Structure 1
Amino acid sequence: MARKYWLLLFIVAAVLLFAGNGSLLVTDSVESNYALTAKEMVLSGDWLSPQIYGHYWYDKPIFFYWLTALAYKLFGFTEFASRFFPAVFGLAGAGLLAWGGSKLYNERSAFYSVLVLISSVEYFLISKSVITDAVLFFFFSATLLFFYLGYRDGRASYWYIMYATAGFSVLTKGPIGVLLPGLIITLFLLWQQDWRVLGRMKLFTGTLLCAAVAVPWYAAMYSLHGSDFINTFFGTHNFLRATVSEHPRDDVFYYYTLVNLLALFPWSGLVPLAVYKWQQAGRPKLTEQQRFLLLWALVVFVFFQCMATKYITYTYPLIFPASLLLGDMVASHTDSVNGGYRLFIGGGFALLLGGAWFAVSNGLVAAELLFLLPLALMVGVMLDYVLRLCCNERALGIAAMAVFFYMALIFSIAVPFSEQRSAKDLGEMLTVQEAREVGLYGRYPTSAVFYSDSKIVKLMHNSEVAGYVPKDFSWTTKNVMPYATLEANPFDVVVVSMGSYKSFMKQSNASWQVVDEDGQWLLLKLNRLN
Structure 2
Amino acid sequence: MPRKYWLLLFAAAAALLFAGNGSLLITDSVESNYALTAKEMVLSGDWLSPQIYGHYWYDKPIFFYWMTALAYKMFGFTEFASRFFPALFGLGSVALLAWGGSKLENARSGFISALVLLSSVEFFLISKSVITDAVLFFFFSATLLFFYLGYRDGRARYWYIMYAAAGFAVLTKGPIGVLLSGLIITLFLLWQRDWHVLKRMHLVSGTLLCAAVVVPWYAVMYSLHGSDFINTFFGTHNFLRATVSEHPRDDVIYYYTLVNLLALFPWSGLVPRAAYKWWRQGHRSLEEQQKFLLLWALVVFIFFQCMATKYITYTYPLLFPASLLLGSMLAKHTDCVDGGYMIFVGGGFGLLLVGAWFAVSHQLIASELLFLLPLALIIGVMLDYILRLVTGERVCSIAAMSAVFYIALIFSLAIPFSEQRSAKNLGEMLTENDVHEVGLYGKYHTSAVFYSSSKIVKLMHEREVAGYVPKDFSWTSKNVMPYATLERNPYRFVVVTTKSYDRFIAQQNKKWQVIDADNSWIMLRMKHI
Same fold (TM over 0.5): yes
Work out whether residues 113 and 326 of structure 2, in 8 Å CA contact, stay in contact via their aligned partners in 1.
yes
Alpha-carbon contact 1:266-1:345 (below 8 Å) kept: no
Name the SS for the 2:113 alignment partner. Answer: helix
Q: Flag the 1:354–1:223 CA change in 2: closer, same or farther, 3 A.
A: same
Taking the aligned partners of 1:171 and 1:156, their CA distance within structure 2 comes to 23
CA separation of 1:389/1:501 partners in 2, compared to 1, >3 Å: closer, same or farther? Answer: same
Match of 1:3 in 2: 3
Q: Which residue of 1 aligns with 2:257?
A: 257
Distance 1:378 1:55, change over 3 A: closer
Distance 1:213 1:261 in 2: 35
Task: State the 1:408 CA deviation.
Answer: 2.2
Within a 5 Å distance, the mapping from 1:160-239 to structure 2 comes to 160-239=160-239
Q: Partners of 1:217 and 1:70 in 2: how far apart?
A: 17
Match of 1:359 in 2: 360
Q: Report the secondary structure of 1:440's partner residue.
A: strand
Matches within 5 A, 1:422-437: 422-437=422-437
| Counterpart-to-counterpart distance in 2, 1:277 and 1:512 | 69
Q: Assess, with a 3 A threshold, how the Cα gap between structure 1 residues 243 and 131 changes in structure 2: closer, same or farther.
A: same
Which consecutive unaligned segments of at least 5 residues does structure 1 have? 366-371
Query: How far 1:379 moved relative to its partner?
Result: 12
CA contact (8 A) 1:380 1:404 kept: no
Deviation at 1:387, TM superposition (A): 5.1
The equivalences for 1:303-452 within 5 A come to 303-335=303-335, 357-362=358-363, 403-452=403-452
Q: Please name the residue that 2:19 is paired with.
A: 19
**Deviating more after overlay: 397-406 vs 508-517:** 397-406
Report deviation, 1:498.
1.5
Per the alignment, do residues 170 and 48 of structure 1 end up closer, same or farther by CA in structure 2, a change over 3 Å counting?
Answer: same
Q: Distance in 1 between matches of 2:397 and 2:322?
A: 20
In structure 2, how many angstroms separate the alpha carbons of the residues matched to 1:452 and 1:321?
A: 42
Aligned to 1:132: 132
Partner residue, 2:248: 248
SS at match of 1:269: helix
C-alpha distance in structure 1 between counterparts of 2:346 and 2:287, whole Å:
30
What is the rounded CA distance, in whole Å, between the counterparts of 1:162 and 1:170 in structure 2? 12
Tell whether 2:148 aligns with 1:148: yes
Q: Partner of 1:469 in structure 2?
A: 469
TM-score by length of 2: 0.91
Map 1:506-525 to 2 at 5 A: 506-525=506-525
Contact 1:377 1:404 in 2 (8 A): no
The aligned counterpart of 1:41 is 41
Aligned counterpart, 1:297? 297
* Preserved contact between residue 380 and residue 400 of structure 1 (Cα < 8 Å): no
| Equivalent residue letter for 2:29 | S
- Residue 333 of structure 1: CA displacement? 1.0
* SS of residue in 1 equivalent to 2:99: helix
Equivalent residues of 2:82, 2:130 under 8 A apart: yes
TM-score when scaled to structure 1?
A: 0.91
1:274 aligns with 2:249: no
- Structure 1: distance between partners of 2:91 and 2:256: 25
Is the 8 Å Cα contact of residues 423 and 448 (structure 1) preserved in structure 2?
Answer: yes
The answer on whether the counterparts of 2:337 and 2:389 sit within 8 Å (CA) in structure 1 is no
Query: Does the alignment pair 1:494 with 2:494?
Result: yes
Q: Look up the match of 1:503.
A: 503
Paired with 1:70 and 1:237, the residues of 2 have a C-alpha distance of 25
Query: How many residue pairs align between the two structures?
Result: 519
Aligned AA (1:186): T
8 Å contact from structure 2 (residues 15, 403) kept in 1 = no
Residues 475/337 of structure 1: CA separation in 2 closer, same or farther (3 Å cut): farther
CA distance in 2, matches of 1:3, 1:462: 67
Name the counterpart of 1:369. none
Shift of 1:406: 2.9
Kindly state the Cα deviation for residue 291 of structure 1 after the two structures are TM-superposed: 0.4
Q: Output one character per residue of 1:310-346: Cα deviation in whole Å (capped at 9) or x when no partner.
A: 111111110101111111111101159999x999999
Shift of 1:232: 0.4
* Structure 1 contact 460–484 (Cα < 8 Å) conserved: yes
Query: Structure 2 CA distance, aligned partners of 1:402 and 1:284?
Result: 40
SS in 1 for 2:439: strand
Read off the aligned partner of 1:362 and give its amino acid letter: Q
Q: Tell me whether 424-433 or 12-21 shows the greater mean CA deviation.
A: 424-433
Matches of 2:160 and 2:43 in 1, distance apart? 36
Task: Summarize the Cα distance change of 1:427–1:172 in structure 2 as closer, same or farther, 3 Å threshold.
Answer: same
Query: In the alignment, is the contact (CA less than 8 A) between 2:348 and 2:381 conserved in 1?
Result: no
Q: 1:407 deviation in Å? A: 2.4
1:344/1:215 Cα in 2 relative to 1: closer, same or farther (>3 Å)? farther
Q: Which residue of 1 aligns with 2:114?
A: 114
Q: SS of the residue aligned with 1:223?
A: helix
Instruction: Please state how far the C-alpha of 1:114 moved relative to its aligned partner.
Output: 0.5
CA RMSD of superposed structures (Å): 3.1
**Counterpart AA for 2:321:** P
CA contact (8 A) 1:127 1:134 kept: yes
Q: Distance in 1 between matches of 2:255 and 2:414?
A: 24
Structure 2 Cα separation of the partners of residues 285 and 336 of structure 1? 30
- Give the Cα separation in 1 of the matches to 2:276 and 2:351: 25
Q: Read off the aligned partner of 2:236 and give its amino acid letter.
A: T
Partner of 1:444, secondary structure, is coil
Name the residue aligned to 2:59: 59
Cα 1:508–1:387 change in 2 (3 A) is same
Residue 518 of structure 1, CA deviation: 2.5
Q: CA deviation at 1:508?
A: 1.1
Specify the alignment match of 2:371 in structure 1.
Answer: none
For structure 2, list consecutive stretches of 5 or more residues without a partner in the other structure: 367-373
Q: Secondary structure at the match of 2:489?
A: coil
Distance 1:337 1:157, change over 3 A: farther
- SS state at 2:457 partner: strand
Identity %: 75
User: Given that residues 270 and 336 in structure 1 are in contact (C-alpha distance below 8 angstroms), is that contact kept between their aligned partners in structure 2?
Assistant: no
Query: Structure 2: how far apart are the matches of 1:290 and 1:103?
Result: 14
